[in-house]
Structure 1
Amino acid sequence: MMATYSDQRKRIHPHKFTMWVALGSIVMMFAGLTSAYVVKRNQSNWLEFDLPIVFWYSTAAILASSLSIYLAGQAFNAREMRRYRLLMSVTVVLGLVFTALQLVGFSHIGENGIKLIGTNSNPAASFLAVLTGVHILHVLGGVVALVIMYIRAYTAKQKTYSSISLEIVSTYWHFVDVLWIYLFIFFHVVQV
Structure 2
Amino acid sequence: MENIQHLKVDKEPQATLSMDPMKFILWLFVVSIIMLFASQTSAYLVRRAEGNWLEFEMPKIFWYSTGVLLVSSLAMQTAYFAAKKDDFRLLKIAISITFVLGLTFLWMQFEGWKQLVAMNVYFVGNPSGSFFYVFTGLHGFHIISGIIVLIYAWIAVFKQKVHAKNLRQIQICATYWHFLDLLWLYLFVFLLTFN
TM-score (norm 2): 0.88
Residue in structure 2 matched with residue 104 of structure 1 by the alignment: 111
- Cα–Cα, structure 1 residues 122 and 85, in superposed 2: closer, same or farther, change >3 Å? same
Unpaired stretches in structure 2, ≥5 consecutive residues: 1-10
Structural mapping, 1:105-124, within 5 Å = 105-117=112-124, 121-124=125-128
Distance in structure 1 (CA, Å) of the matches to 2:25 and 2:150: 18
Aligned-residue offset at 1:161: 3.7
- CA deviation profile, 1:102-142 (whole Å, cap 9, x unmatched): 1111110100112123xxx2111110101110000101111
Aligned-residue offset at 1:50: 0.9
1:180 aligns with 2:184: yes
For residue 149 of structure 2, the aligned residue among 145, 149, 170 is: 145
Coordinate RMSD, CA, aligned: 2.0
Which shows bigger deviation, 155-164 or 140-149?
Answer: 155-164
Contact 2:156-2:162 within 8 A present in 1 as well? no
1:50 aligns with 2:50: no
Q: How many residues align?
A: 185
- CA deviation profile, 1:130-169 (whole Å, cap 9, x unmatched): 1110000101111111112111222357978411111111
Distance in structure 2 (CA, Å) of the matches to 1:176 and 1:158: 22
Aligned-residue offset at 1:2: 7.8
Residue in structure 2 matched with residue 64 of structure 1 by the alignment: 71
Name which one, 1 or 2, has greater alpha-carbon Rg. Answer: 2
Residue in structure 1 matched with residue 171 of structure 2 by the alignment: 167
1:154 aligns with 2:161: no
- CA deviation profile, 1:65-86 (whole Å, cap 9, x unmatched): 1100000000011001111011
Give the AA of the match of 1:126.
Answer: S
For residue 89 of structure 1, the aligned residue among 92, 96, 99 is: 96
Percent identity between matched residues is 37
For residue 78 of structure 1, the aligned residue among 85, 89, 98 is: 85
TM-score (norm 1): 0.89
